[in-house]
Amino acid sequence: MNATVEHIWHEFAEKLDQFIRARVSDPATAEDIRQDVFVKIQQRLGQLQDPAKLQNWIYLIARNAVIDHYRTRKETVEVPETLPAKPAEHDPEIEGLKASFRRMIYSLPEPYRDALVLTELEGLTQKELAERLGISVSGAKSRVQRAREQLKEMLHKCCYLRVRPAGRVD
């Protein structure tokens, strides 16, 4: 059998459509993938050595196209039109959160507290932190990392935070 792209289309288009739609929920995306599959079939039909394996070959191309779709797909989130251009200057909830974080940071043991205060609140780089404290850069990085981990544990122990769609924290 010497298959042409037109013959393959008539025989497999509907079956491939079902195959792809079973794996991709968006109908328009499934249609695009099916079209891409037929373009690849047309480009590579001359490479098919055994016409008896045509169906398996076609489904292999389709399966790989679906995998490629999910591999390259990036999730997007629609930004609401009501989103403010910039955060409020003195939002009481944000100010309260900042104060809580500062209290937690200042309750850390001294070397970790100093590491976080100097890097996160005062804006020093970890290299500058190392120079100021007279320790190695890797030592400074370790302190900052440990301080962040301790702060994270404190947050998990004391708080349940939920961010509402409008950006408010519960």
Task: Quick: pLDDT tens for 91-129.
Answer: 787 788 888 888 889 999 999 999 999 998 889 999 999
Mean pLDDT (the chain, rounded): 84
Average pLDDT score over residue span 41-51: 85
For residue 129, with 0-12 CB atoms within 10 Å meaning exposed, 13-18 middle and 19 or more buried, which class applies?
A: buried
Question: CA-to-CA distance for 11 and 9, rounded, in angstroms?
Answer: 6
Does position 60 have pLDDT exceeding 50, yes or no? Answer: yes
Q: How far apart are the first and last CA of the chain?
A: 67
Please give the pLDDT value at position 70.
86
Domain borders along the chain are 5-72, 92-158
Average pLDDT score over residue span 32-39: 91
Which architecture, in CATH terms, is 92-158?
Orthogonal Bundle (1.10)
At residue 1 the predicted structure's pLDDT band, cuts being 50, 70 and 90, is: very low
Please give the pLDDT value at position 160.
65
Please give the pLDDT value at position 42.
87
CATH topology for the 5-72 domain:
Rna Polymerase Sigma Factor; Chain: A (1.10.1740)
3-state secondary structure the chain: CCCCHHHHHHHHHHHHHHHHHCCCCCHHHHHHHHHHHHHHHHHHHHHCCCHHHHHHHHHHHHHHHHHHHHHHCCCCCCCCCCCCCCCCCCCHHHHHHHHHHHHHHHCCCHHHHHHHHHHHHCCCCHHHHHHHHCCCHHHHHHHHHHHHHHHHHHHHHHCCCCECCCCCEC
Does position 11 have pLDDT exceeding 80, yes or no? Answer: yes
